[in-house]
Structure 1
Amino acid sequence: MIIGVPKEIKNNENRVALTPSGAKELAKYGHDIYVQTNAGSGSGFSDTQYEEAGANILPDIKSVYGRSEMIIKVKEPIQEEYGLIREDQLVFTYFHFASYEPLTRAMIDNKSICLAYETVEKEDRSLPLLIPMSEVAGRMSVQEGAKYLEKPLKGRGILLGGVPGVRPAKVLILGGGIVGTQAAIMAAGLGADVTIMDISLPRLRYLADIMPANVNTYMSSEYNIRELLPSHDLIVGAVLIPGAKAPHLITRDMLKLMRPGTVLVDVAVDQGGCIETCEPTTHENPTYIIDDIVHYCVANMPGAVPYTSTLALTNATLPYALQLANKGWKKACQENKELKLGLNIIKGDVVYKGVSDAFDLPHHNVDNYL
């Protein structure tokens, strides 16, 4: 198969979808890999390293899309890429369709095959291609939140872990999945007073068993969230419904319950955000303020630590990419139910219910295309 790796062009996105090590593995099976020049430079990988691994370097993004049967990316295509994707071309990346209708309709129009990292799902309901970036984003949410609590950055001016004789900051985490768990571990390690909320009692029991003593668990409900907001300094939104739009757990009116300088970090921004006042931001302009509350809503948080993120992502995606390349997307998805669940749009038809529901689009049975 001819595989293309374009350079990511989203604002401040420095990750790359394939490391030289991953390129070498694909080349071993006889696949042709085309990498756009400097695609890996932001993550610390040179064109020479890719060439030594058996990949070919192409001068521009148009060449990569034009030559490839399968495109492997990190982030969803942006408007400049819509016209480069052609009918029957397989695109393997994070799409997050349910949060952005123009992207959805563009991929319907170009009749490509869209296989989304975020909806590849194992039998135990875990999301193997979302987990590594969720781990990075969860840890980063506290790292960034701690920074924006500083007064020069418009925060409350509180040190997350406090000091002897001074109480630490209080951190509220909405969601006890991968992101929430990693955020809690990070916040607890820095010495904060942490509360993690979830609607699953078995999950809360599990978290209570594994977390250090400065992490409390609490059942999530609107009443309980409203009760805790006035006393917390950093709030992390970590709610995910696979392939669907995130629910708003913090509404606009709840901002008035918080103290000025409270920091909100919405890790669910890719899926529309679990905070109603969330709007996607970039690493260039990461925050904005509404009602004296600092909002950090960067849509590609792991892009700020591209070396770590690229290695973690390739570790997870490469086995699936090999199956797609070796067998073709149809056979690979027939034989692997995890990959089959990753199919969102096929040749103009939406085959993932969460996307259909988000925009009231017709839903088609994926089995009809395999």
Structure 2
Amino acid sequence: MNVKELKKDIIAYSKTIGIDKIGFTTASTFDEMKNRLLQQRELDYQSGFEEPDIEKRVNPALLMDEPRSIISIALAYPSKMKIRVESKKGERRGIFCRASWGTDYHVVLRDRLKKLENYILSKVPEAKFKSMVDTGELVDRAVAERAGIGWCGKNCAIITPEFGSYVYLGEMITNIPFHSDKPIENQCGDCNKCVDACPTGALVQGGQLDSNRCIAFLTQTKGFLPDQFREKIGNRLYGCDTCQTVCPENKGKDFHIHEEMEPNPEIAKPLLKPLLHISNREFKEKYGHVSGSWRGKKPIQRNAILALAHFKDETAVGDLITVMKNDTRPVIRGTAAWALGKIGGEEAMNALQKAQINELDEDVIEEINKGLNFFMKKES
């Protein structure tokens, strides 16, 4: 087996199946990443969604027998919608982050990795693989950085010279000893725009993220959103793009290469009020194919309520009162009560006063009181 020729063939083939960048690196341990992960754990900066075993996140030998190298792939996704829909008074809209536009990227990248595996097997029948996307054990960006896909920016995203940071990442551990590509030198320099622009200060410093403060993480939680973040969320339903949109490396970067990544504007930027009453079945049918649906409808509905409060949408008061009175989930009832206080008006205040008498859940009662406190502040 001529590994050098095989690598050339794989690179050529990858272009025919819609892989925008491909890089190769060793299967040695990611020692620097291990130190960073240990520090993140010590500082309690982890989100809880990660693989809990740090050794598995940095040592490919724990994931596959006799790994010799890792192939890293990147696919570019759009940063702008071809068809725009406007959020206007009475018809306010929320927004899913760009990484949740189009078909779930896990599905798309797994398809490319499977095709790559089959191609390599046709050349080397004894080849072995372990492929993963995002939810796998390895840290995608650590692999991509070492494989020369891009550099790890201060916003903790891989930044490629060609596509900026608007790329999905996946990797494949293999027993074939490919020659490694050279990493790209970090080009962030003195730029600190992403750190300065982070709405919640989650980017503690360049390259260090406190996940518990990150809006992208907070939008995926299922409980009450902490008070300090409720007004920071804006109209975000899932994820946050701020640290990407302010990045100079992303200026003018907008690639529409993959049809399955094209957003349907009514899904990527949906009307908020209909989300309050959507059934599980309707939610699955409309949003089930996007990555932002993985936690179910509850976080999306809670965020939609917060977005209506952000817009102070008086046309949503009736809907929010219905939700506060009838929804079986305390988080949704309570968030609706808080939002009614934020929006204000006599109808909202009367509904909160009635709910204060009828509500039995202590957490919801606390939220009703917060809502009523908004009225007291206005009067004083």
Range into which the TM-score falls when normalised by the shorter chain: under 0.3
**Greater share of helix residues, 1 or 2?**
2
TM-score normalised to structure 2 length:
0.27
TM-score normalised to structure 1 length:
0.28
**Which structure's CA Rg is the greater one?**
2
